[in-house]
Amino acid sequence: MAYDVRENQTYHAGDRPFFVSVRGTGAEEITGYWKALSEGAEIMAGLGPSGWAPLYGMLKDRFGVIWTLDIAVQYAG
């Protein structure tokens, strides 16, 4: 999934133009993606538990692309 700048952030062309989101089903999958993407990256939010997912992280890769990675959670409803 890709999305633009969240409403609580200002838009600066070339700084945070868009985000790419990868949602996995388990820690091993997300950790593998994280290791590959984090080489030479700026870590914006370290990989760890969050309020909405058991594992979440955000980084800007060496090409300037911002990635968010997390584990999908099924909600009872």
pLDDT for res 9: 62
Measure the CA–CA gap between 50 and 63, rounded to whole angstroms.
26
Q: What is the DSSP letter of 74?
A: P
| Full set of structural domains in the chain with CATH | 16-71 (3.30.720.110)
Please, which residues have CB within 8 angstroms of residue 39's CB and are 6 or more apart in sequence? Answer: 62
Encode the chain (77 residues) as per-residue pLDDT tens digits.
555 565 666 656 666 566 788 999 999 999 999 999 999 999 999 999 999 899 999 999 998 888 999 998 877 66
pLDDT for res 3: 55
pLDDT for res 77: 66
Determine whether 30 is exposed, middle or buried from the number of CB atoms within 10 Å of its CB (0-12, 13-18, 19+).
buried
- Nearest CA to 64 among 31, 5, 17, 4? 17
